[in-house]
Amino acid sequence: MKKENNDNCLEFGNIRIFPVRRTVYVDSVEVVLTRMEFDVLLFLVSNPDIAFTKEQIYEAVSRDTYSEASYVIKDMVYRLRSKLGLHCIQTLHGYGYKFRADECAV
């Protein structure tokens, strides 16, 4: 469940995201993300339960269009899942992704 404390921290299960500091912690251990990984994560968690195409996600975080955006976002989601142990980014086959906060609960 999404919680916001005084440090503007977003919490989802064992994951804490600090948007202003651009840092992410899993079980109190900082996980280093690239700019794009962080931006994709923040975009998805800021819009829970909303389905987005890969192209919409790419355009939201990069501010431009790219014909191969679906490959870039697919790679970003894979890396986020690997680095954070995230199971709350749901794949919508043939469409895109959505963030399921209820799937992050510990």
Could you tell me the pLDDT band of residue 80, with boundaries at 50, 70 and 90? very high
Pairing of the two strands 89-92 and 23-26: unpaired
Give the start-to-end residue ranges of the domains of the chain.
3-103
b (16+ CB within 10 A) / e for 50-87:
eebbbbbbbeebbeeeeeebeebbeebbeebeebbebe
Which top CATH class is 3-103? mainly alpha
Q: What is the pTM of this model?
A: 0.87
What pLDDT, on the 0 to 100 scale, is given for residue 105? Answer: 58
| Residue 106 pLDDT grade (very low, low, confident, very high; cuts 50, 70, 90) | very low
pLDDT tens-place string over residues 7-20:
689 998 888 999 99
- Pair 90, 103: CB distance under 8 Å: yes
Q: What is the mean pLDDT of the chain?
A: 87
Is residue 2 pLDDT above 70, yes or no?
Answer: no
